[in-house]
Structure 1
Amino acid sequence: MAFPDEVLADDEQVVVHLHPHWKTMVRPGLVLLLVAGALGFAAFALPNEGWAHILLMVLAAFGLIALLVWFLVPFLRWRTTHYVFTTHRVLLRDGILSRHGRDVPLSRINDVSFSHNVLERILGCGTLVVESAGENGQVILKEIPSVEQVQSTLYQLVEDDHDRRATADDGS
């Protein structure tokens, strides 16, 4: 899913566009398999007549509600969470029905660091911490894929933005 260009300035380009790491969908995926397996077993094991048929319909209804709550909502939340790094700023967008956003100009970023535990290192993800001079301060981005590479890219974007601004100031 591409990020909409209308939120970008004329000379701004998207460098990195990410969603949270796929590991955020492991638990909902297991719920999907468990519910589908249980419903499949119930459909096979219960006779399709009388009270058993009614019980099967009730189980199917509860299964669909469980899938909606424990799979579909996390899936939509995962797909509608955007971490976008451009040549001018870091854009954060999330939300399914109501949207939330935060922009951090590269010129306001003081420090970029990351952390990941052993499992996250194996899976290639982690937490990115962006220190901003803005009034909201620190931005913590969790479940970032290839977090070390993203941290390095963001650091380079901050340096390039600083150089661009210095050149523009010298030219005035």
Structure 2
Amino acid sequence: MSALTRKLRGFIDPDVDRRLLASEGEFIIDEVIKHWVTLVPPMCALALSLGCYVAMVNAGAAWWLLMVLGLALDVWAVIRMFRIHMDRFVITNMRVFRVHGAINQHLATMPMTRILDISVEQPFLGRILGYGHFVFESAAQDQGLRVIRYVGHPEQRDLTIQRVIQVAGLRTNLAHPK
């Protein structure tokens, strides 16, 4: 793959693999995409825009207003879905990180050694549909990775992070003192 192709691919794919410290033995344990519930507003906007286009038939002289509204809804929905697609939360054997942003990309990283506490918040709808929000507390005063919203199966992913921390020996096992 040429360098130009790789650069262009970076605008349509978050490509988290290139952010790994492969030479240090880092590998992905879980790559988290946003829960499907985040796609509901853009899908509703697309349905509403379709309604605008259908209503243009009977709108008379104001047909253009409905067309502009439909196009605006389409543009908003496509941009929103693309932003959702480009937002990834990654759990590796060494750290957690989040890559997000379509035009300007932002990377926030937290080594497993700095994670002091993880809170999982599940609103009522999240408990029904299976999503929640992670809140990380770290040893750093100012952290770039604090809240990760709309994580599917948050309890399982919390256990995954806890397992990685335990396997890495970053926390002592209090149940079996030596």
Q: Match of 1:96?
A: 102
The superposition leaves residues 60-89 of structure 1 with CA deviations (integer Å, 9 ceiling, x where unpaired) of 2331122212x1121111001110111111
User: Secondary structure, in 3 states, of the residue corresponding to 1:96?
Assistant: coil
Matched AA of 1:22: W
Aligned match of 1:109 in 109, 112, 115?
115
> Deviation at 1:58?
4.2
Give 1:120-159 correspondences, 5 Å limit: 120-137=126-143, 139-159=146-166
User: Which is greater in Rg?
Assistant: 1
- Asked if the contact 1:112–1:155 (Cα under 8 Å) also holds between the matched residues in 2, the reply is no
SS of residue in 2 equivalent to 1:97: coil
1:47-62 matches, within 5 Å, as: 52=60, 55-62=62-69
What is the root-mean-square deviation of aligned Cα atoms in Å?
Answer: 2.1
1:9 alignment partner in structure 2 = 21
Q: Normalized against structure 1, the TM-score is what? A: 0.81
Instruction: Give me the whole-angstrom Cα distance separating, in 2, the residues matched to 1:33 and 1:157.
Output: 42
Alignment TM-score, normalising by the size of structure 2: 0.79
Distance 1:163 1:111 in 2: 13
More helix by share: 1
Q: Distance in 1 between matches of 2:17 and 2:80?
A: 26
Residue correspondences, number: 156
Select 1:26's aligned residue among 21, 37, 40: 40
2-structure distance, mates of 1:56, 1:156 = 58
Please say if residues 107 and 161 of structure 1, whose CA atoms lie closer than 8 Å, have aligned partners that are also in contact: no
**Structure 2: unaligned runs, 5 residues or longer:** 1-12, 172-178
